[in-house]
Structures are given as structure tokens and as C-alpha cells.
């Protein structure tokens, strides 16, 4: 497996030319890096005007590995070949290195780049990436990977310290400014013997000042100073995971991406395992898109019973600056609330609390000037009894826990459970298996009144923040809860209507595509010239998307299947859009200008499924996969809409001829989003 490292952008608050002088001091030896044994120049060349200088070196490094591995390798040193290309006109230095020793067994490549800060020409940016590919190493491949990456990240940190050391040394010697390169007349062969113009003279003075370091708005780059200031301390490998995942999202989606704090939570939830965090994040993004969670705070208005009887609310901050949420679960009639507003309304209210929590964390981060990424919950269980263990209520609670765990990881900083009654262990036994182990570690449980003394709430909350009902000095405005009057309960008909409305309000629909059983949607067109638009995300598997026009309305068959197998293509129905193979993770948006009235059929079927009209014949791999893994293989989210020609912005002729690429944040994307159609709708 190839291990990769990608650093954030590190900023040296010194001009590029001064940084280059400090960099050259690292050769031919560097006492500050004991593992660096020395280097020799293999070749050196310059451009005719002296602006470009290319140096190739052979560098020797001590092999820092257990003695057993060194004996197996038969070497105590490793040789790396390095190529430095310095362009004084563009003010860039590109460094490329690869190992020469053990190259047939282990391949190490590294690329570094120094350049001028985009917002301050007196500062210098440094970027670094590397990859490690252990092909064969006497059966110790995995061990070598761990040792090598650990050693490499340690050297990354050490490299910055060394650069700062040489820069400080230059400043102490009175060298704080190096004149920039300027073109000068040169005479033929004399150019190759000229010393580097930027190293000839040194002037004192010239401090560094200017705009602040780059923020995440600078493309796909993250400033290391920004990470520490706004996201908190991260190890080099954790920084690398954040940069790689953010870069992957930006490569996949050219539109809006999640905030860095959001991405970082998923990385932490999966212990910075990049692939697992990416899968979890993509599934969550799909869920957010399907349920329009990004708009929840603007659209959600709690029903009256929730506003009056839901015993929870925000209440100042804890001693670490985290937002504090108080929930008096023991005083809340969960059964009555469910019967009065329904499970879906309760869930959306819980989601709105989590969304509000993230928003408050961002505000406090700006206010305090340090990262606050999670909140504290104070859970009061006084009054908890067997009524709260009502089976449908516990089932709904487990569902809410599952949704929150999957989509709001690492947002709970601490859970303070006070006045836990005797029935609490029963509830804990039911719910604890559904709570992530990392989350359970944040639980502090107090029974009886032992929360009042040392080691209790005073260790986490200031006295003037502890609510009055727990013996504190703060008046708490959180609703006290109480029994919900039965007169507020929904009737069975109202409950059914609420569930139906919820289904109608879900913009995106989900569908599973089986081998040999495509998913099809019928769209009836009343006007000859209308626009059918679609937007779908492939969550799992590869599918083929097609659009057909039928001369007659399809009959009723299995759910999601409309085209009759007895129909003949070209007679009973016709294909109006060429089949498009859509890979797992892709987000597709397109549109089609209709030319006839009648029924149009949107079809998704498994790529490689045996069908002569909508996709190619299955390959051997597809057949074997089907035999060994029966059942649903593909899953997608989809949305479609029909617009009348008068509602479309722009002429129909321009619509038919336009073509562009569409990309948006969606489900488990693993490759570039594509747009498919002879025409693409501009919204």
C-alpha cells in the first residue's frame, strides 16, 4: 500500500531571497539534522541570463531503523538523489528527491516547493508532499511503513526548525535583506561561471510586514498557522490527512465544500484513518443533501408542544468556553411529545440543536481567538422512571443516537449526567451499545447529590453558570417540561398525514438497483417543448443511466420497474438520450428538451447487467461478482423536475446547444462529477 504525506502551507515571514540563502546553508552537511550525513553535487547548470539554476545532488542519510532491519538490508546508510530547480525570475524553488538505495524494494519520492506568498511578497510559502511505496522488504513491509512514516513526519517538524535556525543566524549576522534578481547583459559562456546574483551582496534592514497568512479560501491550501490558530494543534500526519481530504473534496467538487472544522471532526472520529473518514463524511454529506439539513436552521419551526414541553435549551458556556446545553430528560414527557408531534418532528428538533451547537462553536472560536469545536451537555435525570422506558420511545431514542453519531461526530466535548436514579442502569444497558466508544469516554455520571462537592460540577462549570435547580447561582430559562395534555395528541389520521407530508417534503428519493432489475421513473409531459431535469448521486456501485420516450403508458410491474420486456426498442419506445455509465460516487445533473408529449422514462440499471438496450453486455468480473454477492449492489439518490419552456431562463435553441460540467457536494464521491445531456439546465 502506498503511504502519502501532504503538508499544509507553511509560511516563513521572510523574503524569498533570504530564505534561499538560509536553505543553501544546509549543504553540504547539516549538523542540526544528525541523520543527514552529507551531500555532493553531481551536476549544476544555469540559464544564459542566470535566472534559472538547476543542481543535482547525491545525499547520504543514516538508516534509522531497528538493528534487525538494518542487518537484513545490509546497509547503514541510504542514498537519495535530489534535483533543485531555482527560478529567480519567478521566485520559486522546486525540489524533487527519490531514493537510490533499495529502490527496487522501497520507493520514496518527495516534492517540495518554495514560492512567494500570494498576499505578501515579503513572505515565503513552503509546501511538501511525499509518498512511500514498500514493494518488498523481507516480510517486514508493514513494520517498515510505520517506522518510515513516523520518522519522516518527525523530520518534517525538524526541517522547519532547521530553516528557522539558519534564518535567525543570518539575522544575527546583520543579513536581513538580499536584493532580488534583475536581468543583466551576459556574454555567451561567461554566464555559466557567474555566481548567483542573489548571493553577491547583503544589505541590512528591511523588516517583514504585511497581510496575514493565507486562509482556506486560498484554493486547496491550508496555512499551518491557520490550522493551529483556528483548528487546534495537529501532528504532521494529522495535518496531512486534513489537507489530503480537503484537497480530494476540492478535486471532486468545484462548488462549496464543508468547513475545515467539519472535515476534522470526521477525521478524529475515525482516528485519522483517511479512507474510513472519507467514507463516513461522504455518507453524511449524502444524508444532509437528501434531508436538506443545511437549511434546517432557516426552515425549522418547532411545533407548539415542543416549544412548551421540550425541557432543553442553551445556557452560557462551561469553564473551557464550550457552549453548554441543558436537558432535563427526567422532567420531560417523551411519550406525550411523540404522540403530540411525532417521531420525525422530535428528530428534526434534535438535529436543529446539533446544527445550532456547531454554529455557536464557530461564534465562540471567533470571539475567543482559539478553537472551540465541541459543546458540553448537562443531562439532569431527576424524575426518570419506567415511563421513559416506553418501547417506542426507546426505539426513537436509539434512532436519534444513531443519526447523531453518524453525522455529528466529535461534537460532544463532555456529557455531565446528574441525579441519575436507580432506573438509569436499565436505560444505559439499552443505549450504550449504540454509542461510540470515544463518545462514551466523555460521559461523567453522578448519582444522588454527589455532583455538588469537589470533583463535581464545579470542576467543569463556574458557580454562576450552574443552574439554580442544581444549587447554583444561575437562573435557568430552560422549560421545565411536564406532562403533555392528551388534548394535544395527534389523531391517527393526523399522524398519517404528517408522515405523508414528510415523505413529500423529501426532495431526494433513494433507490436500490438490482442486477437485472433496473429502477425506472415515469415522467408525463403535457407540452411538446418542456425541459426534464435530473440530479442524482451514485452512492454504491456503477450504474447506466438512460432516458426513453414511450408511445404508451407503462403498465404496473415490480416497484421501480416500468418497461415491459415485451416492448421492442424503436417500435414501442425509443431512446432519446445515449446511455451514460455513472461510476460510484459521481454526482450527475442534466436536462433534456422534450419534442413530443407523452411518457418519458428515466432508467438506472446496474452497469454490466444483461440488457441489450440500455447497457453493454456483462463482463466476467460482473458475473462472478453477482454470483458471490447476490442482492442489492447499487444505490442512488435522485431528484427530477419538469419545467415548461416559458419557465426556462433562456431560449430553447440555446438550451439544446449548451454543454457544461456540473459539480456539487454529494454522497460518497470518489471521482470527478460529470454532467450528462445534450442540454444542461442553468439554475
Burial of 92 per CB tally in 10 Å (0-12, 13-18, 19+): middle
Cell numbers placing 334: 417523551
C-alpha cell at 381: 435525570
pTM above 0.75, yes or no: no
Phi and psi torsions of 277, nearest 5°: -65, -40
Tell whether 495 is covered by a domain.
no
Q: Is the pLDDT of residue 228 over 60?
A: yes
pLDDT 10s digits, 385-398:
888 888 888 888 98
Q: Are residues 301 and 287 in the same domain?
A: no
Whether the per-residue pLDDT at 303 is higher than 80: the answer is yes
Contacts with 245 (C-beta within 8 Å, 6 or more apart), sequence order: 263, 267, 274, 277, 278, 281
* Same domain? 382 vs 239: no
Q: In terms of residue numbers, what domain contains 262?
A: 224-291
Ramachandran bin of 29, using left for φ above 0, alpha for ψ from -120 to 50, beta for the remaining angles: beta
Q: Is residue 681 included in any domain, yes or no? A: no
Instruction: Choose among 375, 444, 359: nearest CA to 413.
Output: 375
Please state which of the ranges 118-122, 193-197, 270-274, 445-449 shows the lowest mean pLDDT.
Answer: 193-197
Residue 214 lies inside a defined structural domain of this protein: no
* Residue finishing a domain among 291, 307, 333: 291
Residue-averaged pLDDT of the chain? 79
Same domain as 554, residue 462: no
Residue in 277, 269, 265, 266 with CA at minimum distance from that of residue 232: 265
* pLDDT tens readout for residues 105-119: 778 889 999 999 888
pLDDT at 357: 96
Phi, psi of 157 (to 5 degrees): -65, -40
> Grid coordinates in use for 465?
453558570
Question: What digits encode the pLDDT tens for the residues 657-666?
Answer: 332 222 232 3
Least-confidence region, from 62-71, 262-271, 284-293, 371-380: 62-71
**What angle is formed at CA 174 by the lines to CA 168 and CA 178, rounded to 5 degrees?**
85
Residue 79 falls inside a structural domain: yes
- What pLDDT is stored for residue 323 in this prediction? 97
Residues ≥6 apart with Cβ < 8 Å to 239: 7, 8, 222, 224, 227
Q: What CATH number did the domain enclosing 526 receive? A: 2.60.120.680
Torsion of CA 39, 43, 49, 50, to 10 degrees: 10
- Alpha helices (runs of H) in 14-66, residue ranges in sequence order: 16-24
Measure the CA angle with vertex 44, ends 41 and 45; round to 5°: 175
Alpha helices, DSSP H, located in 173-204:
none
Whether 369 shows a pLDDT value over 60: the answer reads: yes
- Residue whose C-alpha is closest to residue 312's, from 281, 257, 356: 356
Domain co-membership, 513 together with 415: no
**Peptide bond preceding 28: is omega within 30 degrees of 0, i.e. cis?**
yes
Helices (H), 111-217: 141-172
pLDDT at position 445 is 92
| Helix spans in 118-211 (H) | 141-172
Say whether both 142 and 256 belong to one domain: no
Q: Mind listing the pLDDT tens digit for each residue in 536-584?
A: 888 788 899 999 988 777 765 545 677 777 788 877 888 888 899 988 8
Which residues fall within 8 angstroms of residue 216, CB to CB, at 6 or more apart?
Answer: 222, 226, 246, 260
Confidence of residue 318 (pLDDT cuts 50, 70, 90): very high
How far CA 482 is from CA of 139, 188, 396, 420, in Å, comes to 66, 93, 20, 18
DSSP state of 108: E
What would the pLDDT profile of 579-607 be if each residue is shown by its tens digit? 999 888 777 888 888 888 888 999 998 88
* CA dihedral sign, ordered 626, 629, 631, 635: negative
Residue 205, domain member (yes or no): no
481 and 521: one domain? no
pLDDT at 14 over 70: yes
- Region 52-56: mean pLDDT is 94
- Same domain, yes or no: 533 and 463: no
Summarize the confidence of residues 125-140 as an average pLDDT: 76
- What's 275's domain CATH number? 1.10.8.20
Residues 365 and 327 both lie in one domain? yes
Domain presence at residue 69 = yes
Q: Which residue has the cell 447497457?
A: 615
Report phi then psi at 181, rounded to 5. Answer: -70, 140
500 within a domain of the structure (yes/no): no
Cα separation, 272 vs 264, whole angstroms: 9
User: What percent of the chain has pLDDT above 90?
Assistant: 35
C-alpha cell of residue 247:
484537497
Q: Are 376 and 325 in contact (CB under 8 A)?
A: yes
Do 455 and 549 lie in a common domain? Answer: no
The residues pairing with 601 across neighbouring beta strands, listed in sequence order, are 522, 548
Residue predicted with more confidence, 444 or 254:
444
| Cell numbers linked to 526 | 403535457
* Final residue belonging to a domain, choices 260, 291, 322: 291
Closest CA to 222 of 420, 448, 7, 502: 7
The DSSP-derived string for 341-407 is H-HHHHHHHHHHHHHHHHHHHHHHHHHHTS----EEEEEE-TT--GGGG-HHHHHHHHHHHHHHHHH
In the chain, what percentage of residues exceed pLDDT 70? 77
Percent helix / strand / coil, the chain, rounded to 5: 35, 25, 40
> Which residues neighbour 337 within 8 Å (Cβ) at sequence distance 6 or greater?
305, 306, 309, 310, 346, 484
Domain count, the chain: 4
Q: Within this chain, do residues 306 and 426 fall inside the same structural domain, yes or no?
A: yes
Average pLDDT over residues 427-455: 87
Contact 340, 305 (CB under 8 A): yes
C-alpha closest to that of 507 among 295, 253, 249: 295
Question: What are the angstrom distances between the C-alpha of 138 and each of 73, 77, 106, 528?
Answer: 9, 18, 11, 70
pLDDT in tens, 143-188: 556 666 666 666 677 777 888 899 999 999 999 889 999 887 555 4
- Are 336 and 274 in the same domain? no
Which DSSP letter does residue 507 get? S
CB neighbour class for 189 (10 Å; exposed up to 12, middle 13-18, buried from 19): exposed
Kindly state whether residues 58 and 137 are assigned to the same domain.
yes
- All 3 cell numbers of residue 311? 425541557
Amino acid at each position: 500500500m502506498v503511504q502519502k504525506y501532504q503538508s499544509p502551507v507553511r509560511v516563513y515571514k521572510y523574503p524569498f531571497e533570504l530564505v534561499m540563502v538560509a536553505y543553501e546553508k544546509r549543504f553540504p552537511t547539516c549538523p542540526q539534522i544528525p541523520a543527514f550525513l552529507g551531500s555532493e553535487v553531481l551536476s549544476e547548470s544555469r540559464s544564459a541570463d542566470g535566472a534559472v539554476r538547476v543542481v543535482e545532488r547525491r545525499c547520504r542519510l543514516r538508516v534509522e531503523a531497528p538493528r534487525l532491519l538494518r542487518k537484513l538490508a545490509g546497509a547503514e546508510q541510504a542514498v537519495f538523489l535530489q534535483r533543485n530547480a531555482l527560478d529567480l525570475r519567478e521566485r520559486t524553488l522546486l525540489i524533487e528527491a527519490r531514493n537510490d538505495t533499495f529502490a527496487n524494494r522501497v520507493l520514496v519520492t518527495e516534492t517540495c516547493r518554495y514560492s512567494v506568498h500570494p498576499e505578501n511578497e515579503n513572505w515565503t510559502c513552503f509546501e511538501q508532499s511525499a509518498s512511500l511505496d514498500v514493494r518488498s522488504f523481507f516480510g517486514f513491509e508493514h513494520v517498515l511503513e510505520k517506522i518510515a512514516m513516523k520518522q519522516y513526519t518527525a523530520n518534517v517538524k525538524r526541517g522547519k526548525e532547521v530553516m528557522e535556525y539558519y534564518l535567525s543566524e543570518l539575522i544575527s549576522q546583520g543579513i536581513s535583506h538580499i536584493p532580488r534578481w534583475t536581468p543583466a547583459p551576459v556574454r555567451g559562456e561567461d554566464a555559466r561561471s557567474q555566481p548567483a546574483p542573489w548571493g553577491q551582496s547583503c544589505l541590512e534592514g528591511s523588516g517583514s510586514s504585511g497581510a496575514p497568512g493565507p486562509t482556506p479560501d486560498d484554493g486547496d491550501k491550508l496555512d499551518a498557522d491557520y490550522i493551529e490558530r483556528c483548528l487546534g494543534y495537529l501532528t504532521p500526519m494529522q495535518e496531512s490527512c486534513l489537507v489530503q481530504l480537503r484537497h480530494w473534496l476540492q478535486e471532486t467538487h468545484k462548488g462549496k465544500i464543508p468547513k475545515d472544522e467539519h472535515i476534522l471532526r470526521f477525521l478524529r472520529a475515525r482516528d485519522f484513518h483517511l479512507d474510513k473518514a472519507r467514507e463516513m463524511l461522504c455518507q453524511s454529506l449524502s444524508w444532509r443533501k437528501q434531508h436538506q439539513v443545511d437549511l434546517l436552521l432557516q426552515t425549522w419551526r418547532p411545533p407548539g408542544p415542543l416549544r412548551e414541553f421540550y425541557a432543553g435549551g442553551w445556557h452560557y458556556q462551561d469553564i473551557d468556553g464550550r457552549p453548554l446545553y441543558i436537558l432535563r430528560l427526567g422532567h420531560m414527557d417523551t411519550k406525550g411529545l411523540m404522540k403530540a408531534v411525532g417521531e420525525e418532528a422530535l428528530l428534526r428538533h434534535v438535529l436543529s440543536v446539533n446544527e445550532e451547537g456547531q454554529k455557536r462553536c464557530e461564534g465562540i472560536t471567533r470571539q475567543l481567538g482559539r478553537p472551540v469545536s465541541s459543546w458540553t451537555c448537562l443531562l439532569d435525570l431527576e424524575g426518570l422512571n419506567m415511563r421513559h422506558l416506553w418501547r417506542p420511545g426507546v426505539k426513537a431514542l436509539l434512532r436519534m443516537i444513531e443519526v447523531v453519531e453518524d453525522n455529528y461526530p466529535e461534537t460532544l466535548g463532555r456529557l455531565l449526567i446528574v441525579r441519575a436514579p436507580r432506573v438509569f442502569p436499565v436505560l444505559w444497558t439499552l443505549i450504550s451499545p449504540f454509542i461510540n466508544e470515544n463518545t462514551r469516554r466523555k460521559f461523567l455520571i453522578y448519582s444522588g447529590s454527589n455532583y455538588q462537592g469537589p470533583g463535581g460540577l464545579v470542576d467543569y462549570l463556574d458557580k454562576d453558570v450552574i443552574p439554580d435547580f442544581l444549587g447554583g447561582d444561575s437562573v435557568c430559562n430552560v422549560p421545565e417540561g411536564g406532562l403533555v395534555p392528551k388534548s394535544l395528541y395527534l389523531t391517527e389520521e393526523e399522524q398519517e398525514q404528517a408522515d405523508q407530508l414528510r415523505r413529500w417534503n423529501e426532495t431526494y428519493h433513494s433507490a436500490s438497483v438490482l442486477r437485472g432489475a433496473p429502477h425506472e421513473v415515469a415522467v408525463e409531459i403535457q407540452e411538446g417543448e418542456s425541459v426534464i431535469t435530473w440530479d442524482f448521486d451514485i452512492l454504491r456501485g456503477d450504474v447506466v443511466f438512460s432516458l426513453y420516450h414511450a408511445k404508451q403508458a407503462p403498465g404496473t410491474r415490480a416497484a421501480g420497474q416500468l418497461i415491459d420486456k415485451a416492448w421492442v426498442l424503436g417500435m414501442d419506445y425509443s431512446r432519446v438520450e445515449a446511455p451514460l455509465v455513472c461510476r460510484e460516487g459521481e454526482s450527475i445533473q442534466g436536462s433534456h428538451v422534450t419534442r413530443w408529449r407523452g411518457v418519458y422514462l428515466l432508467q438506472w440499471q446496474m452497469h454490466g447487467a444483461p440488457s441489450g438496450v440500455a447497457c453493454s453486455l456483462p463482463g466476467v468480473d460482473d458475473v462472478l461478482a453477482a454470483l458471490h454477492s447476490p442482492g442489492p449492489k447499487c444505490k442512488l439518490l435522485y431528484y427530477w423536475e419538469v419545467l415548461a419552456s416559458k419557465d426556462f431562463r433562456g431560449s430553447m435553441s440555446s438550451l439544446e446547444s449548451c454543454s457544461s460540467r456540473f459539480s456539487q457536494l454529494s454522497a460518497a464521491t470518489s471521482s470527478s462529477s460529470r454532467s450528462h445531456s445534450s442540454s444542461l439546465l442553468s439554475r
